[in-house]
Amino acid sequence: EAGVTQFPSHSVIEKGQTVTLRCDPISGHDNLYWYRRVMGKEIKFLLHFVKESKQDESGMPNNRFLAERTGGTYSTLKVQPAELEDSGVYFCASSQNSLSTDTQYFGPGTRLTVL
Amino acid sequence: AQSVTQLGSHVSVSEGALVLLRCNYSSSVPPYLFWYVQYPNQGLQLLLKYTTGATLVKGINGFEAEFKKSETSFHLTKPSAHMSDAAEYFCAVRPSTGANSKLTFGKGITLSVRP
């Protein structure tokens, strides 16, 4: 069974540009999460989808970030326009259920560098 | 609000030595507790988790952790370190009540193993 995949693995863009990150969850997982780790800091929650609906987007830093999950399958996270402080590693995770006991399976992350 | 403290950013042990990685949490209600590991160029992998039941939890690769409510701790141990254990380790919590299923992480700690 394929795990969570993320594309691209690395992205280097200039301030003001737009970047779109993609996450493909494990097949059959209704729950999809985005997290971010800024250099030297802890991994922080961004948002949670249940199928195509946003269940919790309390961690989204500002309106430059837009997450979508069309059809409840893969998800994209767009940053527009990108700022220097957006640099970091963006992780995606998926789980079958949204129970607190359920394991979240993580992808390898996308390393975003904004110059 | 919940928080996780992992003291220090780096631990170095000799091969065959005891591994002890500390994790303390802050929460009004005891949360569910998780340890994840990230090997180079890979995603986060669940090592073990505590939800209910026995407070000593065994995970993959010979790791175990003990939930101590009185000390608000969930320290990770392994009796004998192996070179392949070199990685970054993250302690995380999730609420044990309510509908919030997001993970709150500590800053992570890098384990080096000396030959």
In order along its 115 residues, chain A shows pLDDT tens digits of 689 999 999 999 999 999 999 999 999 999 999 999 998 889 999 999 999 999 999 999 999 999 999 888 999 999 999 999 999 999 999 998 777 778 899 999 999 999 9
Q: How far is CA B66 from CA A98, B52, B79, in A?
A: 25, 12, 14
Cross-chain residue pair A43–B105, CB shorter than 8 Å: yes
Query: Can you give the pLDDT at residue A45?
Result: 96
Q: Please spell the DSSP secondary structure of B33-87, one letter per residue.
A: EEEEEE-TTS-EEEEEEE-SS-SEEE-GGG-EEEEEGGGTEEEEEESS--GGG-E
- Nearest by CB to residue B96, choosing from A40, A41, A100, is A100
Residue of chain B minimizing CA distance to A39: B107
Which residue type occupies B106? G
Residue of chain A minimizing CA distance to B50: A101
Sheet with A19-24: strands ordered across: A5-7, A19-24, A75-79, A65-68
Q: How far, in Å, CA of A108 to CA of B38, rounded? A: 9
Contacts of B41 in chain A (CB under 8 A): 108
* C-alpha distance from A10 to closest chain B C-alpha (Å): 11
- Nearest by CB to residue A100, choosing from B94, B105, B106, is B94
Q: How far, in Å, CA of A48 to CA of A35, rounded? A: 9
Residue of chain A minimizing CA distance to B101: A100
Above 70 in pLDDT, residue B35?
yes
Residue A55 CB partners (closer than 8 Å, separation 6+): A31, A48, A49, A98
| Per-residue pLDDT reduced to its tens digit, B60-70 | 999 999 999 99
Query: Can you give the pLDDT at residue B99?
Result: 65
| Ranges A87-101, B13-27, B69-83: which has the least confidence | A87-101
SS3 B99: coil
Confidence of residue B100 (pLDDT cuts 50, 70, 90): low
**Which residues of chain B are at the A interface, by a Cβ-Cβ cutoff of 8 Å?**
4, 32, 36, 41-46, 49, 51, 90, 92, 94-96, 99-108
- Which one, of A3, A109, A4, lies nearest residue A46 by Cα? A109
Q: How far, in Å, CA of B60 to CA of B46, rounded? A: 8
State the DSSP code for B7: -
Above 70 in pLDDT, residue B37?
yes
